[in-house]
């Protein structure tokens, strides 16, 4: 199963890499592989969908991201795209549209998001090491 990096997740979510990093640092997001410091996070396809939902909820409903993070998993649960909050408000998200958006953004990301190189730079290939 493919995994995606922070810049790609940010591009798909329509957010900055800092926003994605903050969300995934402070909240448990299913499908986000967290490792030790210095190792890039990896995102599953489902995590990208969840991040896109979080961003959409935060923007469209003008709610804090932490609240959108609380709501979003309920929207995915059961695959209906619907969740009823404690106060009786029902939130309905078109999961098919979100999934299409994520797939489209991934195609665009393949062409426009640079891959982050980690570790030492490759050895010089020019004669004399320079």
Residue 91 pLDDT = 93
Nearest 5°: CA angle at 123, between 118 and 127? Answer: 155
pLDDT in tens, the chain (130 residues): 678 998 999 999 999 999 998 999 888 888 888 766 656 788 999 999 999 999 999 999 999 999 999 999 999 887 889 999 999 999 999 999 999 999 999 998 877 755 555 556 666 666 665 5
Whole-number Å distance between alpha carbons of 105 and 5? 14
Residue 117 pLDDT = 57
Residue 11 pLDDT = 93
Residue 120 pLDDT = 61
Nearest 5°: CA angle at 46, between 42 and 49? Answer: 105
Domains and CATH numbers, the chain: 6-114 (1.10.1660)
Whole-number Å distance between alpha carbons of 35 and 10? 19
By three-state DSSP, how is residue 80 classified? coil
Distances (CA, A) of 116 to 5, 33, 39, 104: 8, 17, 11, 21
């Amino acid at each position: 199963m493919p995994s995606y990096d922070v810049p790609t997740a940010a591009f798909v979510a329509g957010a900055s890499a800092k926003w994605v990093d903050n969300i995934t640092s402070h909240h448990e997001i299913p499908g986000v592989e967290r490792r030790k410091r210095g190792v890039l996070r990896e995102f599953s396809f489902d995590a990208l969908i969840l991040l896109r939902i979080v961003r959409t909820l935060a923007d469209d409903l003008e709610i804090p991201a932490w609240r959108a993070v609380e709501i979003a998993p309920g929207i995915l649960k059961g695959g209906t795209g619907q969740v009823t909050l404690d106060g009786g408000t029902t939130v309905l998200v078109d999961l098919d549209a979100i999934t299409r958006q994520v797939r489209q953004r991934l195609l665009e990301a393949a062409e426009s998001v640079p891959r982050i190189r980690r570790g030492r730079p490759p050895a010089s290939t020019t004669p004399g090491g320079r």
